[in-house]
Structure 1
Amino acid sequence: MEVPGLDSSQMMLGGFLLDWSKTKTIFIIVFLILDIFLLTLFINKYNENQYDFLGEAKLEDKLKLENIKYDLPPSKEPESQPYINAITKAFTEEEIKELKGQSVEVLDTTTITSALKDSSYVISDKFKPEELNDFLAKNVLHGDSYSFWEIDEDQQRILYYQTYNGKTLLKNINGELAIYYNEDRKIVSYTQTLMTDFEEFPDKKSVITPLQALETLYDKEKLPSDSTVGTPEMGYYTLVPEAERQVLSPAWHFTVKKEGETDHLFVNAFEGNIIEFNNTEKELLE
């Protein structure tokens, strides 16, 4: 129905006078702004993917030139991780009584030193971690909380570190299990520490990708020519190694093998700095 005094570009809606030509213009502008916003998101995402691709291609050429072989997990969206609080466990007398067939001492309530009275566990010349699964289950408190790290034939020691949510507490002396064997390769003793009461900080932060961590190691000349870099794994390192209560931060752990020797390299997964472990002390390199 025509309304007197209104031209063809105007109409009444709910008692309000609308100018249809202006309304169309507003809709066009709104949709244009939305299209620009979506296009910007797409371009930014495309540029990020291109940066990862070009960065990987560039790094791949450098590593190939120096005959450095490496294995990275498939690219995926950057993940977020929290800082973690944990404290050193104080072992109780009741827990120590559970350790049968052992002569046990506890130092400062936090470190178990145990000598086995009659051990039947003998490791092979080509040791595999699963050889000690039964020993860990039957002779070590919370033995399933540890993950194999390395065997040192010179010190006749097999080293394990505690894990949290499947991630290793990297070279943490307060979450360490050291198992010792004799000349006959029989298990004779061990020392143990354990972290407990883990609490995650509520806020999570984005971590750098394995590719970015690998590039940091290359740029800092930590990757020797003719070496092989294993698949990186994320773990946690402590900011204050000897404190009873520790703050743990995520880090990328790389193994680098050359001429039969294995080196462990670490990169802070938040900041991208290389972490140097020197016995129980750590130093961040620029």
Structure 2
Amino acid sequence: MDWSKTKTIFIIVFLILDIFLLTLFINKYNENQYDFLGEAKLEDKLKIDNISYEQPLSKDPEKQPYLNAITKAFTEEEIKELKDQSVEIIGSTTISSKLEDGKYVLSEKFNSEELNDFIDKNVLHGDSYTFWEIDEEQQRILYYQTYEGKTLYKNINGELAIYYNEDRQIVSYTQTLMTDFEEIPDKKSVITPLQALETLYDKEKLPSESTIGTPEIGYYTLVPEAERQVLAPAWHFTVSKDEDKHHLFVNAFEGNIIEFNNTEKELLE
């Protein structure tokens, strides 16, 4: 065995390995520096406009799937379970109910937990929904359906709307429901909440002197009225200023801002 040749081979191999490891280190260092500079730059912008937000925003990589789901068609057999209410099925996919008494009364300082008992006893699949908002002007409390804890944002096919009268008694509700959920294989990486927040800032969606709540990831659909839907992940931010609060959404795959119009269809910028 020629020891000098063997030694030379080992030296070359270790040199290549050192170069490879050094390249990995440099690339990782540059990525970390880019993330740090990007965050610092956004923080400076927000400070100038007196915009505060929950910190720290996650920068960990996350993957989510697309979803397939269909609108549930309710049956007369199902609504027989509903007691002390007059129920009809509209267009096979919407339950419309009127309550027969004023048993449930909302407090002046409403808390969504007040309705847990009502929903549990009076709504089919009531545990499928999460509270969204109360609209005192329309005397309506809105819930949206969830999938594995994630909200189906502004989806009229997965919605529970509860109505009350001037005495704050619950008088009626309407309900739609998505079912047969399937995750489309091959999950994709989503943008980070920090990247989504920067998009909102760059598009001038964040007013000065505002406060941004903790971002949440859920799902939205391009065509809410369709019987079969494909739903994609979206980041949701709550932005508060003075007494006003509004919701902002960013496509978690593409990074586009999602706009919902009055009919709850949405357009992408």
What is the TM-score normalised by the length of structure 1?
Answer: 0.91
Q: Which residue of 2 aligns with 1:36?
A: 19
Is the contact made by 1:253 and 1:267 (CA closer than 8 Å) also made in structure 2? yes
Matches within 5 A, 1:104-143: 104-143=87-126
Matches within 5 A, 1:147-158: 147-158=130-141
Q: Which residue of 2 aligns with 1:197?
A: 180
Is the contact made by 1:177 and 1:193 (CA closer than 8 Å) also made in structure 2? yes
Supply the RMSD in Å over aligned alpha carbons.
1.1
Aligned partners of 2:240, 2:94: CA distance in 1, in Å?
Answer: 32
Is the contact made by 2:249 and 2:257 (CA closer than 8 Å) also made in structure 1? yes
Aligned partners of 1:72, 1:89: CA distance in 2, in Å?
Answer: 39
Is the contact made by 1:232 and 1:253 (CA closer than 8 Å) also made in structure 2? yes
1:126-184 alpha-carbon deviations (Å, 9 max, x no partner): 11111101111100001011010000000000000000011000000000000001111
Pick one of 144, 151, 157 that aligns with 1:161: 144
Quick one: which amino acid aligns to residue 242 of structure 2? E
Quick one: which amino acid aligns to residue 268 of structure 2? L
Is the contact made by 2:222 and 2:265 (CA closer than 8 Å) also made in structure 1? no
Matches within 5 A, 1:36-115: 36-115=19-98
Aligned length: 268
Q: Which residue of 1 aligns with 2:265?
A: 281
Pick one of 216, 239, 247 that aligns with 1:264: 247
**Secondary structure, aligned partner of 2:185:** strand
Q: Which residue of 2 aligns with 1:15?
A: none
Q: Which has the larger radius of gyration?
A: 1
Aligned partners of 1:121, 1:84: CA distance in 2, in Å?
Answer: 36
What is the TM-score normalised by the length of structure 2?
Answer: 0.97
1:203-259 alpha-carbon deviations (Å, 9 max, x no partner): 111100000000000000000011111110001000222110000000000000112
Q: Which residue of 1 aligns with 2:219?
A: 236
Runs of at least 4 residues off by over 4 Å: none
Q: Which residue of 1 aligns with 2:156?
A: 173
Aligned partners of 2:143, 2:19: CA distance in 1, in Å?
Answer: 54
